[in-house]
Amino acid sequence: MSTERERRLARIRDTIADIPRGSVSSYGQIAEIAGIPRGARQVGYALRTLPEGHEIPWHRVLQASGHIAFDGDSRQFAEQRRRLEAEGVAVISGRVDMTRYRWQPDLDELLWKPSAAWDET
């Protein structure tokens, strides 16, 4: 049986995996969708602790303002920008227009998506 913390991390990672190509989300939005209100820091932790070789689209998660969270001179900043631009997301001065690119899942997508991570059996 997994711990509550492991279940939360799995829900966060599942939610991030659902962000479609060409869309972005904020740490806070991911936390809300994953059922962890005010859990933006937990989203950051889930991203920092991703296992080697994962396929989770971490680059689609930004600050609520649309800014990339990494320092502008860092390798991570450059990699996130490159990945976003490869998906057609415009990054201007380290920022993405959240009104244009923000992921807006519909209710059916949120309610009926099958997910093994949510199964607590």
pTM: 0.86
CATH number of the domain enclosing 102: 1.10.10.10
The whole-number average pLDDT for the span 26-30 is 97
Domain count, the chain: 1
What pLDDT score does 121 carry? 36
- Give the structural domain span for 81: 4-118
What pLDDT score does 90 carry? 98
What average pLDDT does the chain have? 90
- Give the rounded percent of residues in the chain with a pLDDT score beyond 70: 88
pLDDT at position 107 over 50: yes
Nearest to 45 by CA among 58, 32, 29: 58
Per-residue pLDDT reduced to its tens digit, 59-106: 999 999 999 999 999 999 999 999 999 999 999 999 999 999 999 988
Amino acid present at 26: S
Half-sphere exposure of 68 (CA within 13 A, CB side): 26
CA–CA separation, 86 and 119 (whole Å): 34
**Residue 10 and residue 117 in contact, taking contact as beta carbons nearer than 8 Å:** yes
The whole-number average pLDDT for the span 39-43 is 96
